[in-house]
Amino acid sequence: MIKYRTCHLCEAMCGLAIEIKDNEVVSIKGHEEDIYSKGHICPKGVALKELHTDPDRLKQPVKRTADGWQKISWEEAFDTVEREFKRIRKKYGNDAIATYTGNPTVHNTGTALTLYDTINAINTRNRYASHSLDSVPVFVVNQMMFGHAVLAPIPDIENINYLLIIGANPMASNGSFMSTPDIRGKIKAIQNKGGKVVVIDPRKTETAQKASEHYFIQPEKDVLLLSSIVNELFRRNAIAKSRALSFSDNLETLKTLTKPFTIQKVAPVTGMSPEQINHIVDDLLKHSNSVIYGRLGVNIQSYGTLCQWLITAINILLGRLDEKGGLLFTLPAIDYVTLMAHESKMFRYSSRVGDYKEVVGEFPTATLADEILTKGENQVRGLLTIAGNIARSAPNSTLVEEALEDLEFMVAVDMYINETTKYANIILPPAVGLETMHYSFVLHIVATRNTTKFSPAPLPISENQRYDWQIMGELQRRLFSGNIFNRMKSNFMSKLHPKTKLDLALKTGPYGVWGGRRFKKDGLSLKRLEKHAGGVELSPLTSVLPKRLFTKNKRIELVPPLFANELPKVEKLLSPNGHPDYPLKLIGRRHLRSNNSWMHNLPLLEGGSRRCTVMIHPDDAANFDIQDKELIEVYSEWGSISIEAEITTDIIGGTICIPHGWGHHGKGTAMSVAEKNAGANINELMNHKRLDPLSYNMAFNGQPVAIRKIKAKIN
């Protein structure tokens, strides 16, 4: 029997054809008739079989005792959570309970549909999420310029003829904030029609190796490069007249702000030559459909918000926003942007420690450890984590683990005993992967085409298992704090089946039977969608502005005052001073097989040679007397790790590169495959107070470090 499903392990949303016999997976292949992926598949999709059969995966609740982990009933687990959280709430107040959500919450339909209701039921301000580690600059820019945090413009990848990629590696990420299967094929298609794909990155990434051109840049100097491009466009009088520019404000202010950042001043600091920067500007202007796209590398640095703002501004100046072959906005079957408009707010209140403003209702994850360890009113004493390994994803992980150990009570909704959940008192494991239905309603916001698809669960669950939405609904009912009216509303929502919610959202969405407040006989419903295993093509991405803007005056704020006040401060980068004791800059990297740390426990994804290494340029290796494959020490003011050296010219001099999410060497975990190839934890080196001052996103890239020889060597 063949069953069809969307892969949920990254943003690409590839269609899978799963051969099943006697409730066992025989094979997983790409679904050739999938409307979006057309048969493309990467190793992650195939590994869903290993996830289903992984003996380390939890399937019923466990509690931590002095004698180790013990299996318990669901009733006992929920009773314990309810009792302990209510005790903490009564003793310290609502804000003494914190929540942390990892990025799999976006990729799992049941969790995504119940997450906000559950967290709102707990009624705490101490909310944290993984996107404050990698994505918040995009949210702040969207909110300030377009009026909505997740109204994100997406590259029209199939019609672009010049794509400039800064600080992104879509060959590894499958196009984060540009969700698209087979990015390799799409890059090749641009080149085959005479276009170019150009990458600017401190490392020659997998994407850079397939690009038409690659330019090295020093870490955290992207803001200077982008400012110089804006300056040069004004100097050449090359601002394109466009629809988007006609309803954009403060063009002259942008010109004034970027005057100090000439190409001649910027080039020596960035590591690029004036000729190279001018060549890039020439190409941006020469090609009719040119777009700049930036992602993780520009987000996770001290100037991430300014970078994302300047990228968007350049696309507007080129006349490419809201235009075919440029950047376009999606209109998904479930219009999450409109549905969540009331949640798109920020900077309303501040954290107790650090005085960090909330962004879309959440504080920066980097400060959670301090909120737990710093005594005083509203000190965090209880924690609920949902699909997140904060002990490996958050900075200064030594401090994070100290904080987790200090909690009075912790509950984790997770499928593994990992570096974070080992500190939990109770773990509530949801059914996952092939056991669950799937609808990618969040990811369709950042897709390159308007399509839709529903996937029933290919495999059943056992009697002792629970779905994520069942777990979240039970927590919502038991932990609710609020008035009677909201309690009744919360109880009602917690009992709705996800399929009921999906059906209602589809029917009332832009393409639904009741879309546009009028009946459409052939409109979408869940029942109709289930008849199309490969999905349904809805409409091409088209111009939607200014109607879809959420600003009060329906105009684009080209220069938000917050950004205008901050940009002059980066002039100090034109005369940089390095740290004498830590002369190297550290950046991270991502691997196609390693979207999340738990994937290291799947043999198919864990395999591969030399994945957790430190990339070092040959000149730096010679200066520090480092040999290839030698075990060396990387250290900062905050910690040190031992890791294998990989000497390569694929990294710019003065910079080293280590992958994120490793370090499976701690005691008390139960991930047998990951522990055999533990790797090193980059976050032991990170200063958790090193944040982007505008969005409070963690500034991982550019952390000052040093390296030295140690005696032991790799066998």
The domain total for the chain is 4
The confidence score (pLDDT) of residue 27 equals 96
Of 391, 464, 382, 431, the residue nearest 668 (C-alpha): 391
Q: Are strands 584-589 and 655-659 parallel, antiparallel or unpaired?
A: parallel
Residue type, 418: N
Q: Read off the pLDDT of residues 171-206 as tens digits, 9 standing for 90 and up.
A: 998 888 899 999 999 999 999 999 999 999 999 999
Full residue range of the structural domain in which residue 145 is found: 136-330+556-568
- 615 pLDDT above the threshold of 60: yes
Helix, strand, coil percentages in the chain from 3-state DSSP, rounded to 5 = 35, 20, 45
pLDDT above 90 covers a percentage of the chain that reads: 88
Q: Are the C-beta atoms of 633 and 710 separated by less than 8 Å?
A: yes
What would the mean pLDDT of 396-404 be, rounded to a whole number? 97
CB atoms within 10 A of CB 560: 19
Q: What is the DSSP letter of 639?
A: -
Q: Of the candidates 505, 539, 568, which is a domain's last residue?
A: 568
Q: Is residue 539 part of a domain?
A: no
Q: Read off the pLDDT of residues 410-426 as tens digits, 9 standing for 90 and up.
A: 999 999 999 999 999 99
Residue with tokens 């520090």: 624
Same-domain status, 342 and 313? no
The confidence score (pLDDT) of residue 127 equals 98
The confidence score (pLDDT) of residue 608 equals 62
Same-domain status, 246 and 311? yes
Rounded distance between C-alpha atoms, residue 528 and residue 535, angstroms: 11
What would the mean pLDDT of 502-511 be, rounded to a whole number? 94
The confidence score (pLDDT) of residue 487 equals 86
Q: Read off the pLDDT of residues 509-566 as tens digits, 9 standing for 90 and up.
A: 999 998 766 777 789 999 999 999 999 999 889 999 999 999 999 999 999 999 999 9
Q: Is residue 546 part of a domain?
A: no
- In which region does residue 147 sit, left (phi positive, over 0), alpha (psi from -120 to 50) or beta (all else)? left
What would the mean pLDDT of 263-277 be, rounded to a whole number? 97
Same-domain status, 292 and 159? yes
- Helix (H), strand (E) at residue 85: helix 74-92
- 492 pLDDT above the threshold of 90: no
Please name the residues in contact with 247: beta carbons below 8 A apart, sequence gap of 6 or more: 545, 546, 554, 555, 556
Residue 701 burial (CB < 10 Å; 0-12/13-18/19+)? Answer: buried
Taking CB atoms within 8 Å and a gap of at least 24, the contacts of 114-119 are: 114/468, 114/469, 114/472, 114/473, 114/476, 114/494, 114/498, 115/386, 115/472, 116/343, 117/472, 117/476, 117/490, 117/493, 117/494, 118/472, 118/473, 118/475, 118/476, 118/479, 118/494
Q: In angstroms, how far is CA 603 from the centroid of its own chain?
A: 24
What is the CATH classification number for the domain harbouring 683? 2.40.40.20
Strand partners, 450: 539
Q: Of the candidates 505, 536, 568, which is a domain's last residue?
A: 568
Q: Is residue 513 part of a domain?
A: no
What rounded mean pLDDT belongs to the chain? 95
| 491 backbone dihedrals φ, ψ, rounded to 5° | -60, -40
Q: Is residue 93 part of a domain?
A: yes
Same-domain status, 122 and 159? no
What is the CATH classification number for the domain harbouring 360? 3.40.50.740
Q: Read off the pLDDT of residues 430-468 as tens digits, 9 standing for 90 and up.
A: 999 999 999 998 899 999 999 999 999 999 999 999 999
Burial call 151-180: b when 16+ CB within 10 Å, e when fewer: bbbbbbbebbbbbbbbbbbbbbbbbbbbbb
Same-domain status, 281 and 318? yes
- 715 pLDDT above the threshold of 50: no
Q: Read off the pLDDT of residues 122-140 as tens digits, 9 standing for 90 and up.
A: 999 999 999 999 999 999 9
What is the CATH classification number for the domain harbouring 30? 3.30.200.210
SS3 381: coil
Q: Are the C-beta atoms of 225 and 294 separated by less than 8 Å?
A: no
Same-domain status, 359 and 437? yes
Same-domain status, 233 and 295? yes
The confidence score (pLDDT) of residue 711 equals 66
Q: Is residue 514 part of a domain?
A: no
| Lowest-pLDDT choice from 231-245, 339-353, 385-399 | 339-353
Same-domain status, 355 and 273? no
- 480 pLDDT above the threshold of 60: yes
What is the CATH classification number for the domain harbouring 316? 3.40.228.10
Q: Are the C-beta atoms of 319 and 242 separated by less than 8 Å?
A: yes
Same-domain status, 379 and 483? yes
Q: Of the candidates 543, 568, 593, which is a domain's last residue?
A: 568
Same-domain status, 162 and 305? yes
The confidence score (pLDDT) of residue 610 equals 61
Q: Is residue 196 part of a domain?
A: yes
Same-domain status, 157 and 93? no
What would the mean pLDDT of 130-152 be, rounded to a whole number? 96
Rounded distance between C-alpha atoms, residue 194 and residue 559, angstroms: 34
What would the mean pLDDT of 243-272 be, rounded to a whole number? 97
Same-domain status, 174 and 271? yes
